[in-house]
A = this chain, B = another copy of it.
Amino acid sequence: MKTFTALLLLFPAGLLLAQPPQLEKLEKKTILLFTPHPDDDTFCCAGTLALLARHGNNIHIVIYTNDDKGSYDPEMTGERLAAIRKTEEENSCRILGIPKQNIHWLQFHDGMLEYANPLDLVEQVTKIIRTYRPDVVMTIDPGSEYVRWHKTDHRMAANNTIDAIRAAEWHLYFPSQRLHDGLEPWQVPVEAYFYVTQKDANYWVAIDEVLDLKLSAAAAHVSQFEPSIRKYRPDWDPKDLASIKKYLQGRAIKKDGHVVESFRIATQFNQQ
């Protein structure tokens, strides 16, 4: 492995980033976002995604799981919930300007990502990265210095994505992808990690102008809110909708007078 990186281990990671790229100002780039569940992308980043979509970026959403467990409705079955969640995610993305065909489902069961074959999973995501050759990868933060996440889908998605980012760069990882699929290695230039701790955040996108879109996109996940989460109904009572939007708006993060979304941005993969 490269010596430069190895030596840098001894210095604080923060020093590495001279000038973080301005995520929300990108135009006509390829953005590849990996999310554990269909809604983590909305809650973390809907505002940023709406801005990126407006600027003509090509956004692809890769969703690790089918989210087929999160209902208290005793009549719900997993297969039916998976279908509901698929539609809700498509609705949410459409609001943000991301077409349905740009959503890619890896189809693992909710809560079961940790039990997937880890090597196969890295290989699969490496192939996606080499296929789309993204200018930015957005993904759940594995933690800057230690292993985060007790929720297993989050931990596995976070770790797996960075493993794949590293593998994608070197053609000797999964060489069949070059030989049989014609895919060349790809070095991801920028990672924007979401769901960051306060201590790790180093970049904030002001989303005031698209806050309404974010609230609508969040509300598209009807089945995940009261009352639908306890007794499924596919639509909102207008009163409930107004209430939940108000609630969500109240919980939004503010910084310097703006509603923001937080990220940890890195310009190269942390080889630690």
Once the chains bind, are B272 and A149 in contact (CB under 8 Å)?
yes
Contact of A145 among B2, B81, B148 (CB under 8 A): B148
CB nearest neighbor in B for A79 = B77
Set of chain B residues within 8 Å of A8, measured between Cβ atoms: 251
Are B120's CB and A39's CB within 8 A? no
B146 touches A6 (CB 8 A): no
Please report which residues of chain A, range 254-272, place their CB below 8 angstroms from some CB of chain B when the two chains form the complex: 262, 270-272
Given contacts A1-B70, A146-B143, A218-B3, contact A115 B111 (CB under 8 A): no
B70 contacts A107, CB within 8 Å? no
A213 to chain B, nearest CB (A): 16
Indicate how many identical chains form the complex: 6
A147 interface residue (CB < 8 Å to B): yes
Q: Are B43 and A6 in contact (CB under 8 A)?
A: yes
Q: Is the CB of B69 within 8 A of A172?
A: yes
Q: Is A19 engaged at the interface, CB distance under 8 Å to the other chain?
A: no
Q: Which B residues touch A163, using CB under 8 A?
A: 114, 152
> Does residue A9 face the partner (Cβ distance < 8 Å to B)?
yes
Nearest opposing residue in chain B for A81, CB measure: B172
- With A166-B151, A180-B107 already in contact, the answer to whether A79 and B78 are too (CB < 8 A) is yes
Total interface residues on A, CB under 8 Å, equals 84
Q: Do B146 and A148 touch (CB < 8 A)?
A: yes
Contacts of A70 in B (CB 8 A): 1-2, 170, 172
A79–B260 Cα gap in the complex (Å)? 42
Could you say which residues of chain B place their CB within 8 Å of the CB of A132? none
Chain A contacts to B: CB under 8 angstroms: 1-3, 6-12, 37, 39-40, 43, 66-72, 74, 76-83, 86, 105, 107, 110-112, 114-115, 117-120, 142-143, 145-152, 154-155, 159, 162-163, 166-167, 170-173, 175-177, 179-180, 185, 195, 197-198, 218, 221, 224-225, 229, 248, 251, 253, 262, 270-272
Question: What are 8 A-B interface contacts by the 8 Å CB criterion?
Answer: A3-B225, A6-B39, A68-B172, A69-B173, A83-B179, A111-B167, A142-B150, A149-B272
